[in-house]
Chains A and B, each alone.
Chain A
Amino acid sequence: MRLYIEVARRTYARMSTYRSATLAGIFTNTVFGFVLAYVLLAVYRERADVGGFTATDAVTFTFVAQGLLMAVGLFGGTDIADRITTGDVIVDLQRPFDHQSWWAAVDYGKAAYYLPFRGVPPFVAGAIVFDLQIPGAARLGAFLVSVTLAVAVAFGWRYLLQLSAFWLLDVRGSNQLGWLVAQFLCGAFVPIVFFPAWLEHLCRILPFASMLQVPVEVWLGRHQGFDLLATWTWQALWAVVLLGLGRLVMARAVRRVVVQGG
């Protein structure tokens, strides 16, 4: 365990050296947040309530979601797959640590950096212009628990997508496809309550809502008491299922692995 904490800490330290990239990223998230928020507000000029979300809920949702995109790691990246494509993975597999846990630790290190530094500034920018919901300490704690679980769910998905590199040599296509589906169905563009009821329901059953929609709903205080526990449990369940699947696929891949290069 100490090893993995160290991996996460090192990742955090590495992330924090890219200051200008962080600033640029904040600006991008903020611009996207404003464009989406204004579009949603135009919807609320036509009607007062969509799927139980008021205008304030929807605008708050947009800025919290923009802040979470990087922390939850919803843009993928191909670092795990790159090591498979180049054959370096064989070195990783011989090392005395667990492949999946190592990369999970990397993602938690990133999340710990991105949550405050990429998450808070776009929200503050949004709060200056719009009236946003700011939760109390208890709800903030519940939100952080939900985000922690969301990181695990998104990582489980990411790990599975990247393992396709054992079968496809160029994973960029499958990777991008996998993330597009996830981004849309997790509410990264519009809250899933805007979807037709059947699709919203499907997103909630599948792991996607657990990656983003659900933590933001916890922020908005839409899950409380017993419902909150059930929500966390469902997120945890998907994290376990996806991570388990990742292990299974990895075990299969290792048995048939043909390493590239000599």
Chain B
Amino acid sequence: MGARVRADWQYRTSFFLFLISQTLIASLDLAVIATIFSQVDELGGWSGAEVALLFGLAGVGFGLADLFVSQVELASRHIKEGTFDLFLLRPMPTLLHLSASEFALRRLGRVIQPLVVLVVALVVAPIDWSLEVVVLVPVTVLSGTVIFGSVWVVTSAVAFWTVESQELGNAFTYGGGLAAQYPIDVLGSWLRRLFTFLVPLAFVAYLPAAVMLGRPHPLGLPSAIGWATPVVALACAVTARATWALAVRHYRSTGS
């Protein structure tokens, strides 16, 4: 990992341009939200500050997962080129090895910007402050990282069967990252169910944010559900690990 950081540092102009563009990518989603709130005061009953809270929680979780885990999507390239064999030969877990070898510090840009928004939103949004909420913020962000990371691992594991998986994965990773920024009740019913139960992205921001803001749940779930996030994250991590292990066992080199 240290070697990767030093390597990036050799091309400084490119590194900074990339860092800026990564920060801008995150800002782009914020620009979309800002554009929408320049036209209306509320979206699905949520104010701008409240949606900013969702954006911050989801964005930091997504950014951290992007920084530490998203490299696994390169598995499909390694499988195609037959270089995945190298990962199996080394005395290190394949998942850890893959994310370390493709680590790119420039993706830090994806964390910084939502973090700023999160801090501002925590100050501005009408939060019911209590000790509970103070604990819930970091727990939510870390669980969000685990949930997004698991989605990345599972969608990348599909490459072991189909060889090509990145595009399909994008729907769940980037698409999920986008959907998690909005109050989930604006989505249609099938999409809402998809993002609550199949890919549990509602737990990344929406459900914990509802607890922080003291809002009732339109899905008719008890409000303690906001606290289920770490449990869901753990379940995701276990599923992701198992899927990856299964996938690696299925692996057959393309040879060459």
Is B186 located at the chain interface by the 8 A CB criterion? yes
Which of A18, A24, A34, A184 makes the CB contact (< 8 A) with B168? A24
Distance, CA A172 to CA B106, complexed state (A): 12
Known: A24-B168, A184-B31. A41 touches B186 (CB 8 A): yes
Is A38 located at the chain interface by the 8 A CB criterion? yes
Is B214 located at the chain interface by the 8 A CB criterion? no
Interface residues on chain B, size class: 35 or more
Distance, CA A183 to CA B27, complexed state (A): 13
20 contacts between A and B (CB under 8 A): A24-B167, A27-B167, A27-B171, A28-B167, A28-B168, A30-B171, A32-B171, A34-B187, A35-B175, A38-B186, A38-B191, A42-B43, A168-B13, A170-B11, A176-B21, A177-B20, A177-B21, A180-B25, A183-B28, A195-B35
User: Which residues of chain B are near A230, meaning CB under 8 Å?
Assistant: none
Please classify the interface of chain B as helix (H, G, I), strand (E, B), loop, or mixed, using the class held by over half of its residues. Answer: helix
Q: Is the CB of A28 within 8 A of B175?
A: yes
Q: Is the CB of A43 within 8 A of B36?
A: yes
Q: Is the CB of B18 within 8 A of A42?
A: no
User: Which residues of chain B are near A183, meaning CB under 8 Å?
Assistant: 28
User: Which residues of chain B are near A36, meaning CB under 8 Å?
Assistant: 178
Is B162 located at the chain interface by the 8 A CB criterion? yes
Interface string of B1-41 (1 = CB under 8 A from A): 00000000001011111111110110010011001101111
Beyond A38-B186, A189-B32, list 11 extra A-B contacts (CB 8 Å): A27-B167, A31-B175, A38-B191, A129-B188, A173-B14, A177-B17, A180-B21, A183-B28, A184-B32, A190-B35, A194-B35
Is B117 located at the chain interface by the 8 A CB criterion? no
Closest B residue by C-beta to A181: B24
Which of A38, A129, A168, A184 makes the CB contact (< 8 A) with B14? A168
Known: A174-B17, A180-B24, A184-B31. A35 touches B187 (CB 8 A): yes
Is B170 located at the chain interface by the 8 A CB criterion? yes
Distance, CA A19 to CA B65, complexed state (A): 30
Binding site for B on A (CB under 8 A): 18, 20-21, 24-25, 27-28, 30-32, 34-36, 38-39, 41-43, 45-47, 50, 129, 168-174, 176-177, 180, 183-184, 189-190, 194-196
Closest A residue by C-beta to B179: A35
Closest A residue by C-beta to B170: A28
User: Which residues of chain B are near A195, meaning CB under 8 Å?
Assistant: 35, 38
Distance, CA A18 to CA B168, complexed state (A): 13
Q: Is the CB of B43 within 8 A of A27?
A: no
Distance, CA A39 to CA B181, complexed state (A): 10
User: Which residues of chain A are near B13, meaning CB under 8 Å?
Assistant: 168, 173
Distance, CA A24 to CA B174, complexed state (A): 14
Known: A38-B186, A39-B186. A172 touches B14 (CB 8 A): yes
Distance, CA A28 to CA B35, complexed state (A): 23
Q: Is the CB of B164 within 8 A of A18?
A: yes
Min distance, Cβ B187 to any Cβ of chain A, angstroms: 5
Interface string of B83-112 (1 = CB under 8 A from A): 000000000000000000000001000000
Is B182 located at the chain interface by the 8 A CB criterion? yes
Interface string of B165-193 (1 = CB under 8 A from A): 11110110001001100100011100100
Please classify the interface of chain A as helix (H, G, I), strand (E, B), loop, or mixed, using the class held by over half of its residues. Answer: helix
| A28, A171, A177, A194 interface centre (most CB from chain B within 10 Å) | A28
User: Which residues of chain A are near B39, meaning CB under 8 Å?
Assistant: 43, 47, 50, 194
User: Which residues of chain B are near A42, meaning CB under 8 Å?
Assistant: 43-44, 182, 186
Distance, CA A38 to CA B185, complexed state (A): 10
Min distance, Cβ B159 to any Cβ of chain A, angstroms: 11
Q: Is the CB of A176 within 8 A of B18?
A: yes
Is B42 located at the chain interface by the 8 A CB criterion? yes
Distance, CA A31 to CA B22, complexed state (A): 23
User: Which residues of chain B are near A189, meaning CB under 8 Å?
Assistant: 28, 32
Min distance, Cβ A35 to any Cβ of chain B, angstroms: 5
User: Which residues of chain B are near A30, meaning CB under 8 Å?
Assistant: 171
Q: Is the CB of A173 within 8 A of B191?
A: no
Closest 6 CB pairs of A and B: A173-B17, A24-B167, A173-B18, A170-B14, A24-B168, A42-B186
Distance, CA A25 to CA B171, complexed state (A): 8
Q: Is the CB of B171 within 8 A of A28?
A: yes
